[in-house]
Structure 1
């Protein structure tokens, strides 16, 4: 007996080593079987795959995936922390993913480890009747009346921040990096538009801290332990959704008292309260906790995507003086800062060229360059390839934006003019707001925000880029941004800033 134990003890290290080697061999074989003929690395580091390369330099990582896919059938593969991934460069293949978001095909995840990070109460994880029901509930949030309310709030926040930026720049004597400033602008805009009166100053500050933790964790390795950025981000999301759930409850009480909506959550809760007061049961997924999760979904979509678009708008306006001059001429014909009046929704609609510039910014530099999905089952994507169950699939919105369009590498707002209408002619390539059942529900709000920013920034401020080597290179943080954070000199362009106010 003692001899048997001794033999086992002496052999144990070899058995463990053999089991580990067998696991690693099976991992590599599994990867190669799933890879089949598609381009991608022939060998991947054990267990973590190429996660280190992704986290260290996401721009280079995804550029290589795109370049590899472009040399073959529009697909390439890789391996990230136990997950086989497929990158899709071809637009029509991407459409097959967007059009098949359902329980037995693809699940939208928004982030490679999104469900663990965002939590369960999130609109992007819903399907079928549940998804349609919630989108119907959300519809009152984006009516013309609601959007008009938001545009007024957006302008007040934009003006407040533009004044602050110009002061920071000391009237153009020193350059300022706009990345963090724009993030602060957008975070205040989201807080004000989404849940306006329901967050006091202390709650807003805590909200800002938690959202910054979330941003940091979303770009980190998915290690859900204390002290690691991903774990801190997951706990921050929990606190954020709890805060938003409290706002939903306060709004329900206020709308039940018959008060007028002043922000997005009010328009949403007003419809729910009306449904209940008419004698019907509460709509599905309308309790405060679930609404808090949905609001966080809005916040994530609005905050980081909008930050990206505003930065690239400034970068492109600086690079294209003729475009900037045309924007200023158009806005000057329609709105005067000296009037001390807010831009109305009718005036906003008149700014056709400025809206074309905004659309071209979104096409030329789509904020979310990819939209990750998980294959719920084996999916026959093409004649030569079936996506294996469990694969994380990355349809590339960025690559689609440079397919089909006339001279797609050129920044050309006129492609969206009434004469050319390339947003309709090549609409299958314009995927910045998604496609299919999960197309962005707030895209009109997002475009209004970008148009308002371009109009006010270009009218109220003079600006010049502080150029450095590689300043226009793309970096991920987590949506794309100019490498230098869009560093500019700023000075006031008008005699006095408008005295805007809600009336």
Structure 2
């Protein structure tokens, strides 16, 4: 019996090998047909494609895609990743065709090549039509002037706490040791997100667990999509589920507090206050306002705010150090408007509005180094992008926000905050090229919040700290983690610049 089974397996083996070879040949042919005349590799490794090259060195991978697209007449290039044909778009106007056609029969925004699996079902970026409009209407109370004013105070308190902590660390004693800001800024931003989004509803233990899970998510977002225990992607997916569950509990607590007539103190409160008011008026609860769904939407906010903000704050420090005249002008403007020794030590909403040059600096940081360099979409149907190329159904499309940021603007390769002043107004003249916050129906709802945070950090950090970048070979090279950051993590010598520190005891 054993011998006959062995003979049968031996006879079947050549057929199995032939079938496998045939499948691999068909895979290559399918890739070449979809690729057409687009620049891209002529041969791709079977099954996994060039995924290993992407995970090993994302910067080099995407630079090559951009370089191939640059020499293409259509500004496009192609590749293959784990069974998925991909198209990279460098041209701004072609990118607009993707952003403007997010709908069930054209493109689906995925946010990550394997985002649906990683983020879970309840996520704003996967919604269309009336469902998407309904949730965005619910979000409107989160970004009113009153709400943004509340967040501004919370943001500053976190920034001040962390700057003081950095001063008090032994490593900063006298500014004598080099320190990489990447992890420090990431911690600052995670606490900011927790405090602004769900502040009163997370105790210290929950915050620590939250931090651990978010770090697991970060690691998994850059890993191969192997969804089994002990692999980074699988651990990240389970961490996202725990984070969304925690945020869902916060939503339930906020609803109860708002129903009791309490005043909003964080983002979830402004959101739940509007929902509770609608229910109290006798209307049914709005669609997608259950705790579990809101938990998923809040994770979407967290992902959008946390890593993008970390990227922008790091580049702000790096660019201010490399442009002493810009740093000097920021300090002069802030000093005319605000002092950490005045009042309660916080910048008021009116003072923030006066910091026009500092806001121009923030805008230029985001243009010059857009945090999310690409926004992946998947083609739900064949889509004719140009006269000569139709994107095949199932293709993952990567419109490049980074490349668009260097098209159209005056001397785009130069860091120049004055391009956004009231005379030149390049933010309006070249508005279509400024895609850092997206475009059309899925444009970032929290962009004013994000810019406020960057302006506040630049103003406070520049006023309160002296810093000197410790430049090393290729320290300004871009790395993905998962948004972009300087290769050296923005390593600086840091020292105290002001004599006194704002008194936070009353806040």
How would you bin the TM-score normalised by the shorter chain? over 0.9
Deviation track 1:362-406 (CA, whole Å, cap 9, x = no partner) reads 000000000000000000000000000000000000000000000
1-structure distance, mates of 2:211, 2:6: 60
Deviation track 1:70-117 (CA, whole Å, cap 9, x = no partner) reads 001200000000000000000000000000000000000000000000
5 Å-filtered alignment, 1:455-474, equals 455-474=459-478
Q: For structure 1, which segment, 83-92 or 163-172, has the greater mean C-alpha deviation from structure 2 after superposition?
A: 163-172
2:296 is aligned with 1:293:
yes
Q: Which residue of structure 2 aligns with residue 172 of structure 1? A: 175
Q: Which residue of structure 1 aligns with residue 38 of structure 2? A: 38
* Aligned CA distance change for structure 1 residues 406 and 196 (closer, same or farther; 3 Å): same
1-structure distance, mates of 2:294, 2:67: 41
Q: Which residue of structure 2 aligns with residue 126 of structure 1? A: 127
2:469 is aligned with 1:451:
no
2-structure distance, mates of 1:136, 1:491: 45
Q: Which residue of structure 1 aligns with residue 98 of structure 2? A: 97
2:408 is aligned with 1:404:
yes
Out of 314, 317, 327, the residue aligned to residue 324 of structure 1 is 327
TM-score, normalising length from structure 1? 0.98
* Aligned CA distance change for structure 1 residues 2 and 295 (closer, same or farther; 3 Å): closer
1-structure distance, mates of 2:410, 2:355: 23
Instruction: Supply the RMSD in Å over aligned alpha carbons.
Output: 1.4
2:74 is aligned with 1:77:
no
Q: Which residue of structure 2 aligns with residue 347 of structure 1? A: 351
2:241 is aligned with 1:238:
yes
Q: Is the 8 A contact 1:342 1:501 kept in 2?
A: no
Q: Which residue of structure 2 aligns with residue 217 of structure 1? A: 220
Q: Is the 8 A contact 1:90 1:399 kept in 2?
A: yes
Out of 497, 501, 504, the residue aligned to residue 497 of structure 1 is 501
Q: Is the 8 A contact 1:156 1:501 kept in 2?
A: no
DSSP-derived class of the 1:404 partner: coil
2-structure distance, mates of 1:41, 1:268: 48
Q: Which residue of structure 2 aligns with residue 22 of structure 1? A: 22
2-structure distance, mates of 1:122, 1:6: 51
1-structure distance, mates of 2:413, 2:9: 65
5 Å-filtered alignment, 1:305-324, equals 305-324=308-327
2-structure distance, mates of 1:276, 1:9: 67
Out of 272, 275, 280, the residue aligned to residue 277 of structure 1 is 280
Runs of 4+ in 1 over 6 A off after TM superposition: 1-7
DSSP-derived class of the 1:463 partner: strand
2-structure distance, mates of 1:424, 1:4: 78
Deviation track 1:185-236 (CA, whole Å, cap 9, x = no partner) reads 0000000000010000000000000000000000000000011000000000
Report how far residue 164 of structure 1 moved.
Answer: 1.3
Report how far residue 8 of structure 1 moved.
Answer: 4.4
TM-score, normalising length from structure 2? 0.98
Report how far residue 264 of structure 1 moved.
Answer: 0.2
Number of residue pairs aligned between Structure 1 and Structure 2: 503
Q: Is the 8 A contact 1:249 1:288 kept in 2?
A: yes
Deviation track 1:21-74 (CA, whole Å, cap 9, x = no partner) reads 000000000000000000000000000000000000000000000000000120
Q: Which residue of structure 1 aligns with residue 434 of structure 2? A: 430
Q: Which residue of structure 1 aligns with residue 339 of structure 2? A: 336
1-structure distance, mates of 2:455, 2:287: 35
Q: Which residue of structure 2 aligns with residue 419 of structure 1? A: 423
Q: Which residue of structure 2 aligns with residue 47 of structure 1? A: 47
Q: Which residue of structure 2 aligns with residue 110 of structure 1? A: 111
Q: Which residue of structure 2 aligns with residue 261 of structure 1? A: 264
Report how far residue 497 of structure 1 moved.
Answer: 1.1
Report how far residue 167 of structure 1 moved.
Answer: 2.6
Q: Is the 8 A contact 1:47 1:81 kept in 2?
A: yes
5 Å-filtered alignment, 1:358-377, equals 358-377=362-381
Deviation track 1:114-147 (CA, whole Å, cap 9, x = no partner) reads 0000000000000000000000000000000000
Q: Which residue of structure 2 aligns with residue 150 of structure 1? A: 151
Q: Is the 8 A contact 1:158 1:185 kept in 2?
A: yes
1-structure distance, mates of 2:145, 2:5: 79
Report how far residue 6 of structure 1 moved.
Answer: 7.8
1-structure distance, mates of 2:347, 2:360: 18
